[in-house]
Amino acid sequence: MKSVRRTLVRLKRFDKQEQAANRHRCEAAIVILLLLFVTLGARLWYLQAVSGQELRAQSERNRLRLVRLEPPRGKLLDRAGRLLAGVEPSFNVCLVREEARDIEATLAELVPILGEPEAVIRTRLALGAREPLYVPIAIKRGVDWETLSRIEARLFRLPGVLIEITPGRQYPHGGVAPHLLGYLGEVSQEELESRRFPGIRPGDLVGKSGIEARFDAELSGVRGQRWVEVDAAGRHVRVLGEVPPVPGNDLYLTIDLDLQQAAEAALGEDVGAVVAMDPQSGRLLALASAPGYDPLPFTTSLSQGQWDALNDPARRPLQNKAIQGRYAPGSTFKIVMAAAGLEEGVIDVNTSFRCTSSFRLGTRTFRCWDWRGHGQTNLYKALVESCDVYFYNVGLRLGIETMTRYARDFGLGSQTGIDLADESGGFIPTPEWKLGRFRERWQEGETLNAAIGQGFTLVTPLQMACLTAAVANGGELYRPVYLERVQGPAGQVLRAFEPEPRRRLPVSAGHLLTIQKALTGVVNDKRGTGKSCRLDGVHVAGKTGTAQVVKQAKRRQDEKMAWQYRDHAWFVAYAPAENPQLAVAVIVEHGGHGGATAAPVARKVFDRWFQLQTPRPVLTPQRTARSQAIGGVYSDG
């Protein structure tokens, strides 16, 4: 019995210990559960109260995609409304990094299809590194149909790759007036950082030169956006909302397409420029620079061969020679010299000098271009036959300070004010400039060189066109303008052209008439240097010029000179002489004599212009006082 009793006692003690252990286990379990619930509750509170807005946005992005809608870029049209640069659909290959599972594998498959260097594609992705991951980055613009179809067939295994349709540039007449219109190119890192283009993103196109750059804000319009629901694979399910884009404004230019094409065709394979303008208003009707280029490849990508050709140091295709080319004016500067001589009273219409083909100053001999000499020469003959000796004498009588003052009054040595970037102002030398630049005093021999448009003097074709137009219209120097009007998407006129006079030439009407008579003789007189610009039924007035590139001594050593050492050929003109409608300036680099090379180019431009006029101007016996005065001077030969 005692043993049974002891056993029962032990059992009771064991039960009490077990109950205590179970109680401790339950308490521990309850504490753990409470801690779990508190932790879970705290986490739920944090996700909802603290991070709820951010997580909600992330959730929406998993379901929605914001698609930017590019507006159609504004059109560029000529003065008659003919399209110079329009819009057509362009297909871009984009990558959405958020949806791409393996970017390296995707690039490995894409690069051979796109035909673009991998380094270029990686650079574009690097430019977009700061953009949100859900924003598509354009890695190739303007893909062709063959490339597009090859990518479309592989989209199922290229997550994150999508085809974006955007408005692209269209050039229905090819590369017409590329230097004036300019071109579009991908925005650079510097442009992105400068914030010059609000709302722009890597891979977008912006204006890089010409009108495209100057009016980029007006042409580009306002971007729209569309909210699209997508599935887990990134495929569009439905459109949830949209803000349509606003198209860019259209720009109607003063340029005449027919005349522009005629100017470019007249230059042909030569290097140079043609500027044609309305002398009564300053409207530019043609602005050609040769060689030209095709602006379309800039919107996609240029090959190394294309880039090398565009950077040819001899021909400089990217330079707008009409406004950036700086050349010695040669004998076209004699127009300024004649005006200065008449106004200052150092010569009159009857003043004459004898030309024996050379002029002696101290120990130096300055030659005339015609080795035979011109004999006794008055102002009319000096301009018609372009006698250098006559203007050597005028230059010595005027002095360099007076010559400089008149050159600047005629608009030389400063920008014309055309609304384009990088216009050159040319250069008019002074004794002060030479002393500061070379630590040497001005010499009288340099005055002689300046008197015939040689030496340090530099001008642009646009400056010479403005000068010629001012002489033609009676003395009003206009600011050259290429914009006729800006028109909004609804057709409303937002801005319209108005003539902008800069100043009047400091020349009396009588002296201008004297110069106009002589310029008419340059083309129509039997001994005129510009007779290769004659037109049937229309009197053209003009002035030839030959700007030396190397000294005469070297020129005589080699009659068959290399192209880069030949003279530049100038011709400036206006027509009809009695009632000017068109003023033209032509420069042909290394073209030789202006009368032989540049004047025929101008003739083609004039001929095309008067073909377009209805009716074509015809000389009649009934003339105004000006036409009688001008037309009676020359003698046909």
Annotated active-site positions, please? 331
Of 550, 605, 532, 521, nearest to 328 (Cα)?
550
Q: Which of 333, 325, 383 is nearest to 588 (CA)?
A: 325
What tokens were used for 177?
Answer: 């007036």
SS3 377: strand
The CB-side HSE value for 549 (13 A sphere, CA atoms) comes to: 17
- Residue 53 phi, psi dihedral angles, 5° rounding: -65, -45
HSE at residue 555, side-chain half, CA atoms within 13 A, is: 12
Closest CA to 374 of 361, 393, 392, 387: 387
- How far apart are alpha carbons 530 and 545 in whole angstroms? 10
- Give the length of the chain: 637
Asked if residues 136 and 166 have their Cβ atoms less than 8 Å apart, the reply is no
The secondary element (H helix, E strand) that includes residue 379 is helix 379-384
- Report angle CA 455, 179, 530 to the nearest 5 degrees: 50
Question: 230: which residues sit within 8 A by CB, 6+ positions away?
Answer: 63, 64, 65, 236, 237
> Sign of the C-alpha dihedral, residues 519, 525, 529, 535?
positive
3 state DSSP class of 503: strand
Measured CA to CA in angstroms, residue 138 lies from 112, 302, 593 at distances of 17, 16, 52
Residue 624: both structure tokens together: 């105004």
* CA proximity to 173, closest of 184, 181, 164: 181
The residue type at 314: A
Residue 522's nearest CA partner among 384, 614, 427, 616 is 384
Say whether 485 sits in a helix, a strand or coil. strand
Closest-CA residue to 79 (of 210, 260, 207, 247): 260
Q: State the Cα–Cα distance between residues 288 and 262, nearest whole angstrom.
A: 10
Q: Where would I find the H helices in 224-364?
A: 257-267, 304-310, 321-324, 334-344
Q: What is the DSSP letter of 578?
A: S
Tokens in use for 224? 């729209």
184 contacts: CB under 8 Å, gap ≥ 6: 169, 205, 206, 207, 208, 212, 295, 298, 299
* Contact criterion met (CB below 8 Å) for 377 and 355: yes
How far is it, in rounded angstroms, from Cα 312 to Cα 179? 16
Distance of CA 477 to the CA centre of its chain: 24
Cα-based torsion angle of the residue sequence 576, 579, 582, 585 in order, rounded to the nearest 10 degrees: 70
Nearest of 432, 429, 177 to residue 326 by alpha carbon = 429
Rounded-to-integer distance, Cα 571 and Cα 475, Å: 20
